[in-house]
Each structure stands twice: as C-alpha cells, then as structure tokens.
C-alpha cells in the first residue's frame, strides 16, 4: 500500500517559488493500477520522482507498506521499479546484458539469480538477438525494451511509469499497454502518468487527477463515471480541471 500525506514540493530560485505539488494526499491499495492525469506542468513527474525517492519532498510524507520512504530509502528502492519517459538510464558502452547485470548488482541480487532473471526477461521481451550488443547502436524500440527489463530486474512490487507511451510508435505503445496489463494480472501496484485518456480507460481502475500541483480527483473510474453520468473521460477531465482551477 502507498500512503501519500500532505505531499508538497516547492522549487525555489532567486526570484520566485514554484509549488509543483501542493498538499496532495491519497492512498493506493496493493495491486491497484492508477492513472495519473494532468496537463503539462501539473506536477506528475515531480510527484512520481518523490515516490521513487529521487526527489526530496518539501513537506509531507510517503509510506510504502508502512515504511516511510525517507527513513529507509534503500529498502524502498528494492520495492519499486521506475521508468521515466524516454530517460532510459542505460550505459551506451555496455551491452544490454551487461546493463541488466549491472542494475541487478545495484539491487543486491546475486550473480546466479541475476543471470537467470536476465534470460527470463530477454525471452519475455524478445531481446535475445541483441542481448550481447552494445546499447549505443540500438533503435528507440530496442532501448525501450532494455529499459523496461531494467525496471523489472529486481521484481519490484510497485512500478512507476512516467508517460511510458509518449513519443513511441504505435507498435511500441501497444506493447507497453500489453505489458501494463500483464503486470496488473501479476498483482503489481502500478502508477503511470499519461495524456492518453483511452489508455487510462483501458488499463486503470483508479485515477488521480492533478491540476497546478493540487489534487482534483482520486478514486475509482467507475465511481467517477457514476458521479458524472458519463464515461467520456476527456470531458470529465476538462470539467474537473475547470472546477479545480
Ligand atoms: N527541477 C525543477 N526546478 C524548478 N522547477 C521545476 C523543476 N521540476 C519541475 N519544475 C516545475 O514544476 C512544475 C511541475 O512540473 P512537472 O512535475 O514536470 O509536471 P508534469 O510532469 O505534470 O508535466 C512545472 O511548473 C515545472 O516547471
Ligand atoms: Mg512530466
């Protein structure tokens, strides 16, 4: 379970303060798939970065399975897999396999287990042919697969994807949607941000809507549909933003 309480992040520079996330609270149950919706600049990436322990909140707390992520970030890192947009974080000069083994080592997975996991993921994502080639020559789709494998190498319970399908071609985007669907079946807890309402409708049971850093809605999609007497998520989103503003 993920419990976010009064989460706030302010970025300060010499002239002004930008409150990217403003007093946001919600909780997500184990095994839930949540769509994070918001316009550009709404605070989605900032929020996911804080949950991923890579950005320190200005205020508020985040607990995963009852553990405060700031008190035990290493333990939390092992529980979460993250993929932020097109930042694959791969080492160009290493092969796909070397990259994956390197990240496995960072998570403290022993060599034998890591090798097995790499084999398993390479079959799952059809990477066998290029597993031992250097990432430097890879296409975007190939990189994406290695990056996904990296996200899953330590078998995380919680997975954070920041706009995973933005900028992908149709085939890769569909592969990604299929993956989220499979991970959902495996019982993973997933938060993913997206601009694509159809994808959120298809994959999520709940949504979190944020607007200018503030929480506008959090709840089950079916409850939202019932409240609004409509299943047009685009429309609902727009009207909620106006209300929230
Ligand atoms: N490192 C940073 N320094 C200053 N401002 C930032 C930084 N990161 C994000 N912001 C600002 O915080 C707000 C939210 O950004 P972001 O979380 O990236 O939104 P989203 O992912 O929803 O598009 C924006 O106004 C953005 O300019
Ligand atoms: Mg973003």
User: What is the count of structural domains for the chain?
Assistant: 1
244: pLDDT confidence band, cut at 50, 70 and 90? low
The answer to whether the beta carbons of residues 120 and 155 sit under 8 Å apart is no
Tell me the pLDDT tens digit for each residue of 43-62.
999 999 999 999 999 999 99
Question: Whole-angstrom Cα distance, residue 2 to residue 136?
Answer: 37
Residue ranges making up the domain that contains 177: 2-244
Q: Which strand ranges, in their side-by-side order, compose the sheet holding 17-28?
A: 17-28, 2-12, 59-64, 67-68
- Atom 27 (ligand 1): residue with closest C-alpha? 41
Nearest ligand to the CA atom of 9: 1
DSSP 135: G
Of 7, 13, 16, 20, which is best to mutate to test ligand 1, by the most ligand atoms within 8 angstroms of its C-beta? 20
pTM, entire model: 0.93
Q: Tell me the residue ranges of DSSP E strands in 13-116.
A: 17-28, 33-37, 59-64, 67-68, 80-84
Give the CATH number of the domain where residue 53 resides: 3.40.50.300
Q: What's the CA dihedral at 188, 213, 219, 84 to 10 degrees?
A: -20
Distance (Å) from CA 44 to ligand 2 centroid: 5
Strands 2-12 and 214-220: unpaired
Tell me the pLDDT tens digit for each residue of 76-91.
989 999 999 767 789 9
Pocket of ligand 1 (CB under 6 A): 11, 18, 20, 38, 40-46
Tell me the pLDDT tens digit for each residue of 152-169.
999 999 999 999 888 788
Distance (Å) from CA 126 to ligand 2 centroid: 29
* pLDDT of amino acid 216: 93
Give me the mean pLDDT over the 173-182 stretch.
90
């Amino acid at each position: 379970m993920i419990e976010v309480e009064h989460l706030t992040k302010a970025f300060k520079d010499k002239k002004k303060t930008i409150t990217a996330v403003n007093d946001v609270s919600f909780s997500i149950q184990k095994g839930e798939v949540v769509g994070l919706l918001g316009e550009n600049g709404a605070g989605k990436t900032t929020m996911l970065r804080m949950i991923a322990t890579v950005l320190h909140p200005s205020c508020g707390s985040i607990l995963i399975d009852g553990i405060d992520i700031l008190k035990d970030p290493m333990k939390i890192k092992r529980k979460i897999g993250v993929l932020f947009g097109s930042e694959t974080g791969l080492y160009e000069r290493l092969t796909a396999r070397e990259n994956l083994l390197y990240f496995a080592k960072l998570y403290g997975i022993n060599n034998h287990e890591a090798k097995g996991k790499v084999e398993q993921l390479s079959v799952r994502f059809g990477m066998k042919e290029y597993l031992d080639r250097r990432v430097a020559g890879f296409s975007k789709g190939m990189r994406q697969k290695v990056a996904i494998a990296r996200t899953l190498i330590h078998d995380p319970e919680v997975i954070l994807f920041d706009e995973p399908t933005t900028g992908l071609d149709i085939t890769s985007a569909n592969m990604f949607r299929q993956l989220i669907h499979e991970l959902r079946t495996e019982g993973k807890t997933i938060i993913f941000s997206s601009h694509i309402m159809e994808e959120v409708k298809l994959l999520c049971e709940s949504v979190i809507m944020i607007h200018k850093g503030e929480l506008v809605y959090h709840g089950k999609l079916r409850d939202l549909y019932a409240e609004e007497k409509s299943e047009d998520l685009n429309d609902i989103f727009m009207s909620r933003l106006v209300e929230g503003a």
